[in-house]
Amino acid sequence: MLRKVCGAWAGACDEQEHGRLPPLLVTSAETPRPTVYAWPEQKVELHCRPSQVGGCRWLKGSRELGTECRLITTERGKIRCVRGEETCGAVTLKNPGNQQVEHNQLTEYQRRYSYYSHRERYWDYNGETRWNHKSSTFLCSRSGTIILKSKVCDGTRHCDEGEDEWHCSPPCGPPFVSEHTRLSDPKEEYPDGSHATYTCESSFSLAESLSGLRRTCSAGRWVGVAPVCRRNVALGRPITVTGLPMTDCKTAVDGSLDTWCMLAPSDGPQALTVHLEANATVDRVLVRALGTRYTVALQPVNQTDGEVECSCRDLNSGKITPSVSGVRVCVCPEPASTVERLEVRVSAEKGAFLALSVAEVVVLERSDDDERDECALLGHPAHGRYEPVQTGTVKLSCDPGYSPSCSDPVRCSDLQSGTTRLSCVAAKCPSPPAIPNTKTGPKDGTGWRSVVEYSCSTGYTLYPSEQNTTSTCGSDSLWSLGHVSCVSETDIRVVAMRLGEQHERSMAALRAELETLLMGQRQLLADQNSTQQRLSKLEREVALLALAEGAYLPAQERDPTEDATEPAPEEEGVTQTPETATDRAVVTRPEQQPAGAADSEELGEAAETTPPPGTDLIPGIY
């Protein structure tokens, strides 16, 4: 039943059936300022977006109402959101000015009665306006029209914007399932009007059906109380037959509805007696029998005067599925079920040639299920869950992309009875606000996480330039942007901003040029250092090569300055003389030996004592 109208929703959690006024986005749209109607003293939540760290100022005239970008107020009138000296948006909040409650065509008598009873029924002036019958009426938040709540979701639009017919059929979530109970076809979401069927585990049975029970989803809630499965204390117990059995009567307690215990027609007594286990308690007995009227009674074992009859009725509920014929449920008095041992007797009425045919006898023990916490019996709504707040109250929390129809705590008893109905509504934003001097790009819808991009119109510039221009639809059904500042290109602020940007670009270009020059100088110095290192290395290698090759050069090829600059070292205590020099060994190169020297002993001896002409002597060897 919730519907967004220009950022506003209709409804109040404690005053209207379908939830309080959800948040309202205040925008700077060029369209006429939205007017939203609310009950007197009803709180309205306003948002100014995008939110800023410094906050926002909310003003009513010159009076400040708050400094945060979210405001919850009961004020009425025109309220503005201001940042600095700029107004980012405004909204007008009003109480309904017309006291009249809209009715269908009234007779003259009804109009007169309405005239005299109107003030008493809907208004109560005690110095100020107060409403004491809001629970029976519905306020159209866009037009201020008041209608009877009985007209909400009746298939006819009574509000100008039709908010009385919006979201009237929300889906249901998984229903509550108690212990030993299961759903035949469990789902995460059930459309409005669909059913959920409950069945029981083996050896357990429902209190109102021998097959299954179904619940219906209606307007987001499950109708009725979740059924409970209780233990069948008659399953497989011994049986005593009074009369002439035609089939095996153990089938009456085998848990199957299709096997029958049949007694032959007789004008004598006919009965089936089920012997229960010790200390078994009995709440009710379910019997499927055909063709003969019968009674059900409890009787203590070995006592003939303690029999108590149970009150029986037929089960013909439309909730039973699949439908089973001939089933009766018999509720037994509690005092009769507290003795040590009990027997359940199913007796046919006496008559000529009557036959008792029983398919199943189910005996359910007593339990304390009726004393359970009401909050524990609630089924969760679709796309949400109930979270406990305090004893007897819960709060609705929804999945991302959905928002609660009411976020205030509510009583579980009201949810269980249907007095209050809650649901998680899929986020859907209205059309993006038409912000002055802007245009929007392609849209991808208005659902949750939808995005729209704003840009300035021709002749206008974004100021300040660091503004966010992307608006996203949030889970609260509000756009993330309600204001974008685009000012004329001739505005002094824009001129100053562009001059500053031009100065920054010039400085950036100059810095880049200087950096390029510095990098070139650094590279040149690096190349010079590298070249110097290579030259030094090359000189060392040449010197070493010259030193290594100098021992093999003929004397005439050697630099005459070498002997003068580098005299042969003298042995310690020995003076270098020509005589001692001739006594040193002479080394000749193999290719300089005369031909035949290897075959001549004389030449060999001469080679050992006298160096050949032109042979360079190495000091210290000869």
Q: How many residues does the chain have?
A: 622
**CATH number, domain with residue 114:** 2.60.40.10
Domain co-membership, 548 together with 526:
yes
- Please tell me the total count of domains within the chain: 5
Q: Is the distance from CB of 190 to CB of 196 less than 8 angstroms?
A: yes
Domain co-membership, 109 together with 207:
no
CA–CA distance, 22 with 68 (Å, rounded to integer): 18
Q: Is residue 553 scored above 90 in pLDDT?
A: no
Q: Is the distance from CB of 404 to CB of 398 less than 8 angstroms?
A: yes
Residue 155 is predicted with a pLDDT of: 80
Domain co-membership, 197 together with 309:
no
Lowest average pLDDT, out of 54-58, 229-233, 578-582, goes to 578-582
Radius of gyration of the chain measured on its C-alpha atoms: 52
Q: Is residue 576 scored above 50 in pLDDT?
A: no
Domain co-membership, 310 together with 223:
no
Domain co-membership, 255 together with 342:
yes
CA–CA distance, 237 with 295 (Å, rounded to integer): 20
Domain co-membership, 51 together with 99:
yes
Structural domain of 241:
234-364
Of 518 and 300, the structure prediction assigns the larger pLDDT to 518
Residue 452 included in any domain: no
What is the tens place of the pLDDT at every residue in 120-133? 344 443 333 444 55
Helix (H) or strand (E) holding 509: helix 492-549
Residue 435 included in any domain: no
Please say which residue of 364, 380, 401 terminates a domain: 364
What is the tens place of the pLDDT at every residue in 346-374? 888 776 567 888 999 999 988 765 556 77
Residue 470 included in any domain: no
Residue 445 included in any domain: no
Domain co-membership, 323 together with 353:
yes
CA–CA distance, 423 with 415 (Å, rounded to integer): 11
Domain co-membership, 378 together with 360:
no
Residue 19 included in any domain: yes
Mean pLDDT for all residues in the chain:
77
Domain co-membership, 218 together with 260:
no
Residue 317 included in any domain: yes
What is the tens place of the pLDDT at every residue in 223-263? 888 888 999 999 999 999 998 899 999 999 998 888 999 98
Domain co-membership, 116 together with 211:
no
**The pTM is what?**
0.61
Domain co-membership, 220 together with 331:
no
Average pLDDT for residues 510-536, to the nearest whole number?
90
Q: How would you write 21-40 as a 3-class SS string?
A: CCCEEECCCCCCCCEEECCC
User: What are the C-alpha distances in Å from 390 to residues 92, 395, 410?
Assistant: 36, 10, 10
Q: Is the distance from CB of 356 to CB of 263 less than 8 angstroms?
A: yes
Please say which residue of 119, 136, 165 terminates a domain: 165
Q: Is the distance from CB of 296 to CB of 346 less than 8 angstroms?
A: yes
70-73 and 57-60: which strand pairing?
A: unpaired
Please say which residue of 165, 193, 212 terminates a domain: 165
What is the tens place of the pLDDT at every residue in 305-359? 678 888 888 887 778 888 888 888 998 887 555 555 778 888 887 765 678 889 9
Average pLDDT for residues 371-398, to the nearest whole number?
84
Q: What are phi and psi of 345, to 5 degrees?
A: -110, 125
Q: Please choose, from the candidates 379, 451, 383, 446, the residue with its C-alpha nearest in 3D space to the C-alpha of residue 415.
A: 379
Residue 500 included in any domain: yes
Q: Is the distance from CB of 23 to CB of 476 less than 8 angstroms?
A: yes
Domain co-membership, 325 together with 418:
no
Residue 443 included in any domain: no
Q: How would you write 94-106 as a 3-class SS string?
A: ECCCCCCEECCCC
